[in-house]
């Protein structure tokens, strides 16, 4: 389920229009990151954060959001990188903004052979919600609703904890900074279901070198603009790591090593680990809603320091 209606369209609009100085890019695993999770030498940094995370975010989503942000003056981009990000076409939902993806990929030098003038009809083929033609249709043609929803995030407010959207039966709320809060009742409901093994999007080889190179090229373009970059590895449920010889453990661990290698090579500060035991021994299974979505309690323990 999307984090909220028109999520990719709204978050892209927010990326273009927001006057925040710091932005978070990632998937639903990072949707709960908020201004309260970060410490900075400047109050303006932590008070001006927008969460641009979208459900199931893939490499293509990172490119689009980054490309949009590079068209303006900002201070920081925080990439919350999942183990499936270093591969292409891991989800179809990014195809809503296929045209923007190809343009930004070319502008940032990820693939200079691409033609920006992609037929907009490709957008109509986006699979945003299986079986929901009405969702696709409304997302593509109702720019007014998209803008209205985006503006809800852009209004200056004193209380960032005030919800601006309430989602579905579970009554989840989206805050002014774009972060998501799940109510205790919803978390308890999810925990009653059988625990997964962390296999979501974990398939095939751990990463594609061409995509790693593309991500590297993207962050170099960001750094050329004088924008600070941070990497965050959001933890998985410790149950995923109980069998260290499992294919899933091995897969995730290889991606983590690649992310750290990329961070060190480009002098990027990184936080966290997919293995929660590498963050703190205090993290338990009950600190997760399922096998790979951490609660806010865990995020508050990560001590994320910007501009240090």
Q: What is the mean pLDDT of residues 61-68?
A: 97
Q: What is the DSSP string of 35-78?
A: GGGEEESSHHHHTTEEE---TT--HHHHHHHHHHHTTS--SEEE
Report percent pLDDT > 70 for the chain.
Answer: 73
Let me know if residue 2 belongs to a domain.
no
**Amino acid 157: pLDDT:** 43
Total domains in the chain come to: 1
Degrees to nearest 5, angle at CA 66 with 136 and 76: 135
Q: Output the pTM of the full model.
A: 0.83
pLDDT of residue 270 exceeding 50, the answer is: yes
In this structure, is residue 197 part of a structural domain? yes
Angle at which helices 143-154 and 133-141 pack, to 10 degrees? 70
> Partners of 269 in the beta sheet?
230
Is a pLDDT exceeding 70 seen at residue 294?
yes
| Residue 56 maps to a domain | yes
pLDDT-based confidence at residue 151 (cuts at 50, 70, 90): low
In a domain, 289, yes or no: yes
Q: 10 Å Cβ neighbour count for 225?
A: 13
Looking at residue 269, which CATH number applies to its domain?
3.40.50.1110
Q: Are 298 and 267 in contact (CB under 8 A)?
A: no
Residue span of the structural domain in which 180 resides = 7-306
For 34, the enclosing helix (H) or strand (E) is none
Show Cβ contacts of residue 308 under 8 Å, excluding neighbours closer than 6 positions: 39, 40, 41, 269
pLDDT in tens, 217-248: 999 999 999 999 999 999 999 988 886 658 88
- Asked if residue 175 belongs to a domain, the reply is yes
Contact present, 84 and 57 (Cβ < 8 Å)? no
166-196 pLDDT, tens digit each: 444 455 677 778 888 877 777 777 888 888 8
Residue 248 token pair: 């899933």
Pairwise CA distance, residues 80 & 296, whole Å:
15
Say if residue 60's pLDDT is above 90: yes
* Pairing state between β 22-25 and 76-80: parallel
Q: How far apart are CA 61 and CA 64, in angstroms?
A: 5
- Alpha helices in the chain, H assignment, sequence order: 7-17, 43-46, 59-69, 98-107, 133-141, 143-154, 184-191, 209-224, 247-265, 296-299
Helix (H) or strand (E) holding 174: strand 172-175
For residue 159 the two structure tokens come to 């209380």
Average pLDDT, the chain: 80
pLDDT of residue 215: 97
Provide mean pLDDT across the span 254-267.
Answer: 97
Q: Backbone phi, then psi, for 100, in 5-degree steps?
A: -65, -35
């Amino acid at each position: 389920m999307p984090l909220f209606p028109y999520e990719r369209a709204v978050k892209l609009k927010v990326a273009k229009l927001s006057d925040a100085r710091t932005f978070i890019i990632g998937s639903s695993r990072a949707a709960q990151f908020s201004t309260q999770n970060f410490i900075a030498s400047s109050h303006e940094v932590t008070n001006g954060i927008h969460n641009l995370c979208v459900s199931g975010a893939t490499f293509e989503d990172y490119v689009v959001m980054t490309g949009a942000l590079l068209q303006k003056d900002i201070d920081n981009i925080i990439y919350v990188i999942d183990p499936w990000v270093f591969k292409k076409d891991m989800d179809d939902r990014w195809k809503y903004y296929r045209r923007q993806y190809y343009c930004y990929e070319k502008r940032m030098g990820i693939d200079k052979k691409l033609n920006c003038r992609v037929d907009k009809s490709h957008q109509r083929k986006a699979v945003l919600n299986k079986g929901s033609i009405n969702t696709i249709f409304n997302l593509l043609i109702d720019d007014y609703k998209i803008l209205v929803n985006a503006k809800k995030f852009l209004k200056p407010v004193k209380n960032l904890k005030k919800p601006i959207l309430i989602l579905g039966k579970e009554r989840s709320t989206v805050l002014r900074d774009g972060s998501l809060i799940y109510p205790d009742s919803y978390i308890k409901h999810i925990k009653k279901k059988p625990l997964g093994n962390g296999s979501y999007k974990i398939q095939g080889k751990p990463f594609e070198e061409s995509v790693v190179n593309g991500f590297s090229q993207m962050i170099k373009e960001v750094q050329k603009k004088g924008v600070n970059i941070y990497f965050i590895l959001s933890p998985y449920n410790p149950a995923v790591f109980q069998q260290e010889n499992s294919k899933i453990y091995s897969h995730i661990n290889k991606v983590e090593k690649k992310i750290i290698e990329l961070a060190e090579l480009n002098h990027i500060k990184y936080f966290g680990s997919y293995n929660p035991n590498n963050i703190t021994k205090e993290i338990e299974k009950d600190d997760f809603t399922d096998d790979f979505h951490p609660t806010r309690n865990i995020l508050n323990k990560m001590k994320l320091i910007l501009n240090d």
